[in-house]
Amino acid sequence: MDAKDAKAKEIEKRVIENYQNDERMMILIFAQWCVNNKLDAKELYKKAYPNQLNNTILDEVIEETVPKNEADEIPTATVLQVLQLFGNDDLAFVVQEEVEKLDD
């Protein structure tokens, strides 16, 4: 492997790591929004993606959430935008459904 290939591999590795970190942050925003709105993140995820097995990253970030009284407010629009940015349109749809129930 020459220097050019090694450089390309390093860039690819960093892009993947950045994406994974951003994805984790997206999941944390979703999970904290659920806590703030007294919703079960795992149940909403399962409703959006019924055929997927357990989401281990979701399980991990749920441990990182804080009680509502210690959390900053997360606007629903922000959650929807972040979910859609990562292609989680089904989950964004489920979140929107829950928001409509909360507004009733």
Which residues contact residue 62 at a Cβ distance below 8 angstroms, ignoring those fewer than 6 apart? 31, 41, 42
Q: Which residue has the tokens 């994406």?
A: 19
Q: What local confidence, expressed as pLDDT, does residue 104 receive?
A: 66
Domain boundaries, the chain: 3-103
| DSSP state, residue 37 | T
Q: Which residue has the tokens 């959650």?
A: 79
Integer distance in angstroms from the first to the last C-alpha of the chain? 61
Read off the tokens for 11. 């860039």
> Given pLDDT bands bounded at 50, 70 and 90, which one contains residue 6?
confident
Q: What's the CA gap between 66 and 54, in Å, rounded?
A: 22
Q: What local confidence, expressed as pLDDT, does residue 20 receive?
A: 84
Q: What local confidence, expressed as pLDDT, does residue 24 receive?
A: 92
- The model's pTM is 0.86
